[in-house]
Structure 1
Amino acid sequence: MKKKLLAVLLTLTLGAMALTGCASSSKVTNDVSSEQKTETTDTQKDDNAKEETSNGTARTLEQIKESGEIVIGVFSDKKPFGYVDENGEYQGYDVYLGNRIAKDLGVEVEYVPVEAASRVEYLVTAKVDIILANFTVTKERAEQVDFALPYMKVALGIVSPDSALITDASQLNGKTLIVSKGTTAETYFTENYPEVELLKFDQYSEAYNALLDGRGDALSTDNTEVLAWALENDGFSVGVDALGNIDTIAPAVQKGNTELLEWINNEIVSLADESFFHKDYVETLAPVYGDAADPESLVVEGGVIEQ
């Protein structure tokens, strides 16, 4: 009888343990499920945030602030305006402004590398909130994006080997000129010098490498850029330092994003009180140009072009 009683008690005990085990197992499963749901929710939030900047509709100023991050398109290979340094950090004249914009908005900044030919596309498709990529204001571009007030003046320049220096654009007739796709240099020479053969590249680094390799007789882009490059590359000089019109560089946003555009314009005007862009020049351009360039011929404060 005692053996039967012990057997019954043992059976009940084992059953209770089994139930406890099942309950514990169920609890762990529920906890994991809860964690998975949380992770899924966070992932969905991230995906939704990314979708806001990739579905073609630009984020509003309020949405940018709420997200805690602004996405800015910059060059990654165009020193000293936008480039990635040896530590993997974005640096340059445009980046200096981007950092300040993010600071004054009270958000973090994500830099997205762009090519010259993709700047308009990245705004139209809302892949970025702002373009700060040495973006020259032109009538054609202004039909597709909205430009803010300018912060720099620029013209075209031509850099070539000292051994065969180009000092006039007409010398390029029948020769090969290297340009980057989607630039004002490409447009200018296509329209005004049809006898010049254009060798086009997507990336600026590719274009300059082509010049170093002797695949072209010269290279043309903004005079501020060719000057910086020539100063760092022996055997090359800027023989033409001001070609075409004096243009301006400005931030750009998706067309119709009025609230963000107005904020940027107000920011540029406000920054003039502290001579921000002269400070930017000293920090990012002066170490490259030295005495070879006059900051007053390049810098624009408060969006006002001095005559």
Structure 2
Amino acid sequence: MTLEFLKALFPNGMRRFVALFLVSLFLTVSIAACSESKSDSVKSQAKVATEDVAQVAPTGTLDDIQAAGKIEIAVPADFPPFGAVGTDMKPRGYDIDVANRIAKGLGVDSELVSVVGNYRIPFLQTDRVDLVISSLGKNEERAAIIDFSQPYAPFFSGVYGRPNVEVASFEELKGQTVGVAQGSLEDLEISKIPPEEIDIKRYANNSLTASALVSGQVNLIATGNVVAAKLIQDNPGQKIERKFIMKNSPCYVGIRKGDEELLAKVNNIITNLKQSGELDRLSIEWFGEPLPKDLAAVT
């Protein structure tokens, strides 16, 4: 079936549905034939089918959102402080606040759809939501099927301690006692330092690692900023602060491939939120610390 025939047969509003149905049928046949054909052939067929969808996918999503007066956004339901259900049974968190501000910037109401991690991208691809704002990281595999905004949220591993401990790099950890959750990503990073130069205390989980810092068993810990956010919130008198970032992996807004106008508008709104200091304020509210400098910079 040619693209011209498809355009003539179906109006604009039905093209995405028809195209997705054809791709689903085509890939099902291809997968069934895998045992009799080479995988490279299947990959080639899938690529052609994906390109056909890209050609017929409508580009008027922003117009549709504004005409409807609302935008549907996937947000986390079980990953505080990015998103969780509060005692009032309403979603609350950093991503929820960002989602509402992006809807406001678009001049429409926000309709939040709570999703768990594995369903974020499928919800976007099947048009159940218009955006994903749910602690979504960026990688090559995801970038092949959806588009990403500029980064809007911090997600990283860092070294934390009290103000009286002055360190700003891996090199300055020499001679320090550092707590870490055994087997964690932070454990892998901190283990790159020669063992004779640093005293590493390994604990069974993040909670015990945090407790070790509070109780004075260690003077620094290496952990994720989400763990640190709760630690800082629960122990305000300790004045725990970030010393430096070990490994950075910021979060992005996920947008359907081809929605160029919506992507440009979302990026513009995020830029305004950074320039006004609003994202920095939200970071302090939910994570207990300002945005990292590279994330706060306008891109």
TM bucket, shorter chain: 0.5 to 0.7
Give CA-to-partner distance per residue, 1:21-45, whole Å, 9 cap, x none.
xxxxxxxxxxxxxxxxxxxxxxxxx
Answer yes or no: is the 8 Å Cα contact 2:206–2:227 preserved in 1: no
| Amino acid of the structure 2 residue aligned with 1:266 | N
Tell whether the 8 Å contact from 1:72 to 1:98 is kept in structure 2 after alignment.
Answer: yes
8 A contact 1:268–1:301 mirrored in 2: no
Counterpart of 1:297 in structure 2 is 292
> What secondary structure is seen at the aligned counterpart in 2 of 1:88?
coil
Quick one: structure 1 residues 229 and 280, their matched pair in 2 at CA, closer, same or farther if it must change by over 3 Å?
Answer: closer
Cα deviation digits, residues 37-57 of structure 1 (max 9, x gap): xxxxxxxxxxxxxx9998866
Alpha carbons 1:112, 1:128 under 8 Å: kept: yes
Distance 1:259 1:112, change over 3 A: same
- Structure 1 counterpart of 2:264: 262
Tell whether the 8 Å contact from 1:151 to 1:303 is kept in structure 2 after alignment: no
Which residue of structure 2 lines up, in the alignment, with residue 95 of structure 1?
96
The offset of 1:109, in angstroms, is 0.7
User: Within the alignment, does 1:275 sit opposite 2:277 as a pair?
Assistant: yes
- The equivalent residue for 1:60 is 61
Q: Is the 8 A contact 2:180 2:206 kept in 1?
A: no
Give structure 1 regions of 4+ aligned residues with deviation exceeding 4 angstroms. 51-59, 166-169, 229-234, 241-244
Report deviation, 1:230: 4.9
The number of residues matched between the two structures is 198
Secondary structure of 2:296's aligned partner = coil
Q: Distance in 1 between matches of 2:144 and 2:297?
A: 24
- Give the deviation of 1:154 after TM superposition: 2.3
8 Å CA contact 2:275–2:298 kept in 1: the answer is: no
Q: 2:127 maps to which residue?
A: 126
Gaps of 5+ in 1: 1-50, 159-165, 178-184, 190-209, 213-221, 235-240, 287-293
2: CA distance between counterparts of 1:211 and 1:53? Answer: 45
For 1:227-238, what aligned pairs fall within 5 Å after superposition?
Answer: 227-230=228-231
In 1, are the aligned partners of 2:151 and 2:250 still within 8 Å (CA)? yes
Structure 1 residues 302 and 232: alpha-carbon distance in aligned structure 2, compared to 1, 3 A threshold: closer
* CA distance in structure 2 between the aligned counterparts of 1:62 and 1:133, rounded to whole angstroms: 24
Q: Which amino acid aligns with 2:133?
A: L
Q: Write the letter of the residue equivalent to 2:139.
A: T
Aligned residue among 247, 250, 253 for 2:252: 250
CA distance in structure 2 between the aligned counterparts of 1:276 and 1:53, rounded to whole angstroms? 36
* Equivalent position of 2:151 in the other structure: 150
Following superposition, the deviation at residue 302 of structure 1 comes to: 5.3
User: Rg bigger for which structure?
Assistant: 1
- In structure 1, give the amino acid aligned to 2:64: Q
- Aligned partners of 1:285 and 1:76: how far apart in 2? 17
State the 1:232 CA deviation. Answer: 6.9
Shift of the 168–81 alpha-carbon distance from structure 1 to 2, 3 Å rule, reads closer
Change (3 A) 1:297 1:113: same
Q: Note closer, same or farther for the CA distance 1:65–1:226 as it changes in structure 2 (3 Å cut).
A: same
TM-score normalized by structure 1?
0.53
| CA-to-aligned-CA distance 1:233-256 (integer Å, 9 cap, x gap) | 89xxxxxx9997412211111112
For 2:71, give the aligned amino acid: I
Query: Does structure 2 conserve the Cα–Cα contact (< 8 Å) formed by 1:147 and 1:251?
Result: yes
Structure 2 runs not aligned, ≥5 long: 1-13, 21-56, 160-177, 189-204, 208-222, 236-242
**Aligned pairs for 1:104-253 within 5 A:** 104-156=105-157, 167=179, 171-172=182-183, 223-230=224-231, 245-253=247-255
Looking at structure 2, the residues matched to 52 and 110 of structure 1 have their Cα atoms a distance apart, in angstroms, of 25
- For residues 228 and 245 of structure 1, the distance between their equivalents in structure 2, rounded to whole angstroms, comes to 16
Displacement after TM superposition at 1:298 (Å): 7.2
How far is the alpha carbon of 1:84 from its aligned partner? 1.8
Q: Deviations over 1:189-235 (max 9, x none)?
A: 9xxxxxxxxxxxxxxxxxxxx999xxxxxxxxx9222223456789x
Q: Distance in 2 between matches of 1:255 and 1:82?
A: 25
* Length-normalised TM-score, structure 2: 0.54
Rounded to whole Å, the distance in 1 between the matches of 2:77 and 2:16 is: 20
Distance 1:70 1:53 in 2: 18
Once the two structures are TM-superposed, the CA of residue 76 in structure 1 deviates from its matched residue by 1.1
What percentage of residue pairs aligned between the two structures are identical?
28
Distance 1:52 1:86, change over 3 A: farther
